[in-house]
Amino acid sequence: MFEERGELPIGIVGCGHQGTNYILRALRVRDTLAVRKSPDAARAAGDEELMGLVLLASRLEIEGVPKEALTLDAMLDLYDEDLAEILEADGRLREQMARFRGKSAPAVDPDAAEDRPALGAGALDGARESPAVDRGLAGDQ
């Protein structure tokens, strides 16, 4: 199974525990279908960035944080540095999968929003290519 493990620079609190260790796994068809039926689907419908965050959450595990707590709101509450780390892991994962298929993945600069697709290129497109994020959407919160 394809997965990337790492540590979030800041982390999130879940059940009174500061979670920083994470696992991001490859997107599977079951993830895409589950996301379409999730409570966050209606809210993310029509917004590629939000749908991409929901798809990322479906593939993400953070130590000490229950899976059901990784909702769209939890993803929106991530610190920018943590989301950047997750997106870098996603890029490494895509490279790993491309090498497995005997191809090379295109290089992605995590700081160049104009060089990549919007977060979650759509539910079906997400199955072919993992989402990226438009860093301009982060704002000051």
DSSP H or E stretch at residue 85: helix 80-100
Question: What confidence tens digit (pLDDT) does each residue in 38-93 have?
Answer: 999 999 999 999 999 999 999 999 999 999 999 999 999 999 999 999 999 999 99
DSSP state of 26: -
Q: Which residues of 62-80 are buried (b: 16+ CB within 10 A; e: fewer)?
A: bebbeeebbbbebbeebee
Q: Where are the domains of the chain?
A: 3-120
pTM over 0.75: no
Q: Which of 94, 114, 98, 24 is nearest to 63 (CA)?
A: 24
Q: Hey, is 5 helix, strand or coil?
A: strand
The pLDDT, as a whole number, for residue 30 is 92
